[in-house]
């Protein structure tokens, strides 16, 4: 099999990136846009030199799947963001559960671990509370707010995005028009000229929006432009300018907070998470990480609280606490909660959020998770919500040293979750079950919660 060859096959699964896969000529061929059960034809674009894998461009779907659906977004396929919009939602949930099951079954110690049905998003569309948009001028001079096409730096216009919460697409459209009318210069990464690189819009539960303009250099009329924008869109409560002079596609600069300045309004957004009749209020700074799907975050946080059943005498340690959403959810039931987070800005936000909620038994520290855990003498319960790479072995070693009675592990990657659960099993811990949550519908992303009990006391 060589690039340029025609290929015809029947797909039997999706790969981890959401592309259809099937066998042809002894090769495992990946075709973006194909679905399991479909007979498809394409043209080979790349053949691996290390394995019998190949990637092809989909040309025709000769026998479509009953689960195939018309995609909701006009930019589907071009933007590369929501790769499963053409797959019925119930089938997406089933595939995500199967993917998680396969990842766990790859480890003998986890082979019989029960995987629950995938918890659906309350809103499969209009769920994403944050839009991250590239600013560019297309051929002909029209300014667009969009996303890079897959494996390209061509910018696809995201006007009409159906994944974003309702205020965000309308707000982005108004901003695009304003930027175009006032002649704002989009940053050109090839010539390093221009001003505006990205726009980040975040909406809260009440539909208020915080706008962050990522610039290579300050906008000449930034304050006036921000005031004009807010006057046109009353839902925008503030506009922040974040200077990022680095090369590459990283949106937020790590350098001195990106040299931020408030152009107009307020510089933070207050979010609310409703869990079992109680609200947790969170202060979100411009670059703060918070789950993109508020509704599923609330379901996951509620499941953690219910499963852990925190007692009034217990200390809880949240080793990757972020802005404190899970820690503050658990604080009302615990004697003490300690949150650990490497990002100092997130720690400041979590501390402010604790005060906002009137919570006095939660404190947050900035630092490396393993080092901070090493300074703790006890914890009855530990929460882990690491990035995609999972927990470092040193972190799990420190958790095992503390010998908590239970651990809640909220993961955003099935493979690293399985790896870490297998390691914890060697240290006397076993998961009761694992529950997938559909945090990002129409994408291959799988969020999963494992609630883990100590079965062997190694203290």
Q: How far is CA 193 from CA 146, 216, 217, 252, in A?
A: 19, 8, 9, 18
| Distance separating alpha carbons of residues 75 and 157, to the nearest angstrom | 7
For strands 381-384 and 406-411, give the pairing: parallel
Q: Which residues pair with 115 in a beta bridge?
A: 434
- Helix axis angle, 89-105 to 414-425, nearest 10°: 40
| Distance separating alpha carbons of residues 283 and 268, to the nearest angstrom | 7
The DSSP secondary structure of 138-196, one letter per residue, reads -TTS-EEEEEEPTTS-PEEE-TT-SSB-HHHHHHHHHHHHHHHHHTPPBPBTTTTB-SE
The DSSP secondary structure of 264-298, one letter per residue, reads EE-S-EEEEEEETTEEEEEEE-TT----SBHHHHH
Query: pLDDT digit string (tens) for 60-97?
Result: 999 999 999 999 998 898 888 899 999 999 999 999 99
Q: How far is CA 352 from CA 142, 261, 277, in A?
A: 42, 20, 22
| Distance separating alpha carbons of residues 329 and 281, to the nearest angstrom | 10
Would you call 47 helix, strand, or coil by DSSP? strand
Q: What is the dihedral of CA 345, 200, 131, 34, to 10 degrees?
A: -100
Q: For the CA atoms of the chain, what is the radius of gyration?
A: 23
What is the CATH topology of the domain spanning 6-63? OB fold (Dihydrolipoamide Acetyltransferase, E2P) (2.40.50)
| Distance separating alpha carbons of residues 242 and 227, to the nearest angstrom | 17
| Distance separating alpha carbons of residues 90 and 81, to the nearest angstrom | 19
CA angle, residues 390, 392, 393, in degrees to nearest 5:
125
| Distance separating alpha carbons of residues 59 and 189, to the nearest angstrom | 33
Are 145 and 135 contacting, i.e. CB atoms less than 8 angstroms apart?
A: yes
Of 221, 114, 206, which Cα lies nearest the Cα of 166? 206
Active site residue 118: no
Of 335, 309, 312, 344, which Cα lies nearest the Cα of 453? 309
| Distance separating alpha carbons of residues 349 and 257, to the nearest angstrom | 14
Are 100 and 115 contacting, i.e. CB atoms less than 8 angstroms apart?
A: yes
CATH of 130-271, one of 2.60.120.40, 2.40.50.1070, 2.40.170.20, 3.30.565.10: 2.40.50.1070
CA angle, residues 189, 227, 212, in degrees to nearest 5:
40
| Distance separating alpha carbons of residues 441 and 25, to the nearest angstrom | 34
Query: pLDDT digit string (tens) for 296-315?
Result: 999 999 999 999 999 999 99
The yes-or-no answer to whether 6-63 and 101-121+291-454 have a common fold is no
For strands 196-203 and 209-215, give the pairing: antiparallel
| Distance separating alpha carbons of residues 253 and 200, to the nearest angstrom | 13
pLDDT at 44: 96
Q: How many CA atoms lie within 13 A of 12 on its CB side?
A: 6
Are 210 and 238 contacting, i.e. CB atoms less than 8 angstroms apart?
A: yes
| Distance separating alpha carbons of residues 92 and 292, to the nearest angstrom | 18
Of 348, 343, 423, 341, which Cα lies nearest the Cα of 385? 341
Please state the domain extents for the chain: 6-63, 101-121+291-454, 130-271
Tokens of 372: 């901070």
The DSSP secondary structure of 100-139, one letter per residue, reads HHHHHHTSGGGTT--BPPPBPPS-SSS-B-EEEEEEEE-T
Q: How far is CA 427 from CA 342, 419, 424, 455, in A?
A: 25, 13, 5, 9
Are 380 and 317 contacting, i.e. CB atoms less than 8 angstroms apart?
A: no
CA 124 to chain centroid, in Å, comes to 15
Would you call 367 helix, strand, or coil by DSSP? coil
| Distance separating alpha carbons of residues 159 and 78, to the nearest angstrom | 13
Of 11, 73, 82, 412, which residue is the catalytic one?
A: 412
Q: Which residues pair with 336 in a beta bridge?
A: 315
What is the CATH topology of the domain spanning 101-121+291-454? Rossmann fold (3.40.50)
pLDDT per residue of the chain (459 residues) written in tens, 0 to 9? 899 999 999 999 999 999 999 999 899 999 999 999 999 999 999 999 888 999 999 999 999 999 999 999 988 988 888 999 999 999 999 999 999 999 999 999 998 899 999 999 999 999 999 999 999 988 778 899 999 888 788 899 999 999 999 899 999 999 999 999 999 999 988 888 999 999 999 999 999 999 999 999 999 999 999 999 999 999 999 999 999 988 877 888 875 455 899 999 999 999 999 987 789 999 999 988 899 999 999 999 999 999 999 999 999 999 999 999 999 999 999 999 999 999 888 999 999 999 999 999 999 999 999 999 999 999 999 999 999 999 999 999 999 999 999 999 999 999 999 999 999 999 999 999 899 999 999 999 999 999 999 997 655
Task: Return all residues near 191 (Cβ < 8 A) that are at least 6 apart.
Answer: none
């Amino acid at each position: 099999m060589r690039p340029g060859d025609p290929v015809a096959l029947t797909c039997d699964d999706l790969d981890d990136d959401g592309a259809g896969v099937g066998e042809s000529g002894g090769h495992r061929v990946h075709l973006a846009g194909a679905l399991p059960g479909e007979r498809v034809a394409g043209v080979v674009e790349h053949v691996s030199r290390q394995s019998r894998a190949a990637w092809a461009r989909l040309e025709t779907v000769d026998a479509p799947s009953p689960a195939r659906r018309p995609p909701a977004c006009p930019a589907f396929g071009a933007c590369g963001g929501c790769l499963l919009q053409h797959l019925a939602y119930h089938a997406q949930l089933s595939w995500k559960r199967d993917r998680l099951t396969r990842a766990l079954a790859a480890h003998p110690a986890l082979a019989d671990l029960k995987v629950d049905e995938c918890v659906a998003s309350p809103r499969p569309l209009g769920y994403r509370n944050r839009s991250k948009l590239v600013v560019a001028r297309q051929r002909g001079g029209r300014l667009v707010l969009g996303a890079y096409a897959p494996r390209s730096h061509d910018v696809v216009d995201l006007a009409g995005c159906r994944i974003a919460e309702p205020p965000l697409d309308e707000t982005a459209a108004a901003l695009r028009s304003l930027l175009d009318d006032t002649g704002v210069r989009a940053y050109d990464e090839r010539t390093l000229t221009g001003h505006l690189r990205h726009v980040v819009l975040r909406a809260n539960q009440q539909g208020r929006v915080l706008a962050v303009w990522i610039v290579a250099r300050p906008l000449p009329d930034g304050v006036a432009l921000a005031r004009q924008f807010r006057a046109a869109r009353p839902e925008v409560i503030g506009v922040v300018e974040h200077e990022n002079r680095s090369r590459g596609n990283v949106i937020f600069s790590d350098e001195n907070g990106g040299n931020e300045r408030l152009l107009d309004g307020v510089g933070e957004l207050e979010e609310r998470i409703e869990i079992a009749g109680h609200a947790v209020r969170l202060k979100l700074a411009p670059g703060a990480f918070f789950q993109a799907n508020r509704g599923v975050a609330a379901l996951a946080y509620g499941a953690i609280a219910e499963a852990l059943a925190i007692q009034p005498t217990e200390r809880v340690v949240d080793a990757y606490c972020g802005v404190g959403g899970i820690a503050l959810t658990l604080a009302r039931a615990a004697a003490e909660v300690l949150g650990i987070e490497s990002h100092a800005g997130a720690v400041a936000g979590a501390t402010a959020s604790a005060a906002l909620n009137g919570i006095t038994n939660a404190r947050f520290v900035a630092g490396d998770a393993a080092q901070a855990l090493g300074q703790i003498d006890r914890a009855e319960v530990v929460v882990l919500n690491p990035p995609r790479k999972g927990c470092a072995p040193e972190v799990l070693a420190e958790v095992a040293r503390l010998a908590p009675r239970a651990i809640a592990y909220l993961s955003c990657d099935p493979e690293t979750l399985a790896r870490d659960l297998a390691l914890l099993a060697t240290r006397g811990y076993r998961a009761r079950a694992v529950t997938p949550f559909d945090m990002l519908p129409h994408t291959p992303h799988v969020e999963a919660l494992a609630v883990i009990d100590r079965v062997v006391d190694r203290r």
